[in-house]
């Protein structure tokens, strides 16, 4: 069996007739990139790349020159050949990680179809048939809607700082039996000192985890938060490969790693990440905040086969087109997703539907929420800021005379 061609399918995720402009589009920037690897025996595999899809497409097309004529069943050898092939361009980042991921995912899909087995069965079999998922809420009402759909875990995310009153109101709305998470990612990012002050207030709300409290490259700041706050921490969605996740694990900086199933480096890399984390008693909850539907299938196969699963992030209601570009469609059951049983990934692209949404752009505008920045600084586009008006914004408790 030989690889004959690698095709890419890039699409814009955005507004449709009857939808408000910008819905599901990440401020007009959101793209999905799918990959299809064809062989001389007529068996094809599909994958998905995330991170910067419009740029990653060119990386996949460049790497395709290495793969044509190779046996797609030699997954690990081909992955290393691709990885080494990218090293002349610098360290592997978002673009390289995304390209490696989509290609490797498609190779696993081919192998599963050749052998007539779901990928999870090629990885050692299942621990579980159902994978718990969590949803996103920005209001107490939305959180209650998720509970009505059977979700038992919800995350509230912020840019530019955490609204502690909102988190508290959502906790009140869902009650004590529901797992609640806070994602504090920027921009603008908090300083370590501010992240610690916010974290100490969040301790009262019994969080499952506090995600990305400081900028992702600032591991020393993450260590400061780790030492000062008594809440489980989570991070890692922006890194690729075992070498990217290594400091988070070896320094015990987090309780939860969150590799992105579309840019972590591939199915094998995520399994290796999970094993590294397991040796440090760290769980895994893969990121899925901007992914399309193919990578979600891959995540289920991975999570079925590892012992240290926490749950899977799910963006289920972001854009109706999600349910038109692949078949079959995953449907949640009481806050869980069933692990696929079909050979390979268990999903196929509907190419004519993907073709209806050609890519237009893949760079985000400024955030629309000026509250993400200190007053008067919105146009400065700074990467991080110290929070001013600290008593009001951080709800610091002070004694008389302070």
Q: Is 80 a catalytic residue?
A: no
Q: What is the distance between the alpha carbons of residues 343 and 386, in angstroms, rounded to a whole number?
A: 51
Find, among 281, 230, 284, the residue nearest to 261 by Cα: 284
Cβ 209 vs Cβ 181: under 8 Å? yes
Residue of 80, 136, 185, 280 marked catalytic = 185
Residue of 89, 136, 287, 301 marked catalytic = 287
Helices (H), 312-367: 351-354
Tokens, residue 249: 């694990």
Query: For the chain, how far is it from start to end, CA to CA, in angstroms?
Result: 74
* Chain-centre distance for alpha carbon 326: 19
Tokens, residue 386: 């110290």
Q: By three-state DSSP, how is residue 46 classified?
A: strand
Quickly list DSSP for 194-231: HHHHHHHHHGGG--SEEE--S-TT-HHHHHHHHHH--S
Cβ 57 vs Cβ 8: under 8 Å? yes
Q: Is 136 a catalytic residue?
A: no
State the catalytic residues.
185, 287
């Amino acid at each position: 069996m030989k690889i004959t061609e690698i095709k890419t399918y890039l699409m814009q995720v955005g507004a449709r007739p009857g939808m408000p402009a910008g819905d599901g589009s990440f401020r007009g920037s959101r793209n999905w990139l799918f990959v299809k690897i064809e062989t001389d025996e007529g068996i094809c595999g599909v994958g998905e790349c995330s991170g910067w899809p419009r740029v990653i497409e060119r990386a996949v097309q460049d790497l395709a020159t290495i793969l044509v004529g190779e046996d797609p069943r030699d997954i690990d050898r081909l992955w290393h050949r691709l990885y080494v092939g990218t090293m002349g361009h610098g360290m592997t980042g978002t673009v390289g990680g995304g390209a490696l991921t989509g290609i490797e995912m498609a190779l696993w899909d081919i192998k599963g179809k050749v052998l007539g087995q779901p990928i999870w069965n090629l990885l050692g079999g299942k621990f579980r048939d159902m994978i718990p998922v969590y949803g996103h809420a920005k209001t107490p009402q939305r959180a209650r809607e998720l509970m009505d759909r059977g979700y038992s875990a919800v995350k509230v995310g912020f840019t530019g700082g955490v609204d502690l009153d909102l988190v508290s109101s959502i906790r009140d709305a869902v009650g004590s039996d529901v797992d609640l998470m806070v994602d504090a990612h920027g921009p603008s990012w908090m300083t370590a000192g501010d992240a610690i002050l916010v974290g100490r207030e969040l301790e009262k709300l019994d969080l499952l985890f506090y995600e990305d409290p400081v900028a992702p490259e600032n591991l020393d700041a993450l260590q400061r938060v780790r030492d000062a706050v008594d809440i489980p921490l989570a991070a890692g969605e922006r890194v690729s490969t075992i070498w990217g996740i290594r400091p988070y694990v070896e320094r015990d900086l987090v309780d939860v790693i969150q590799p992105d199933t579309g840019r972590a480096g591939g199915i094998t890399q995520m399994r290796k990440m999970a094993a590294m984390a397991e040796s440090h008693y760290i769980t895994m909850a893969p990121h899925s905040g901007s992914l399309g539907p193919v990578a979600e299938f891959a995540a289920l196969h991975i999570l079925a086969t590892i012992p240290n699963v926490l749950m899977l992030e799910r963006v289920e209601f972001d854009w109706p087109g999600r349910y038109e570009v692949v078949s079959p469609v995953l449907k949640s059951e009481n806050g869980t997703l069933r692990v696929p049983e079909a050979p390979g990934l268990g999903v196929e692209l509907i190419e004519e539907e993907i073709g209806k949404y050609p890519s237009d752009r893949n760079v985000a505008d400024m955030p629309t929420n000026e509250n993400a920045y200190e007053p008067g600084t919105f146009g400065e586009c700074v990467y991080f800021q110290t929070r001013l008006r600290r008593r009001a914004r951080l709800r610091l408790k002070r004694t008389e005379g302070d």
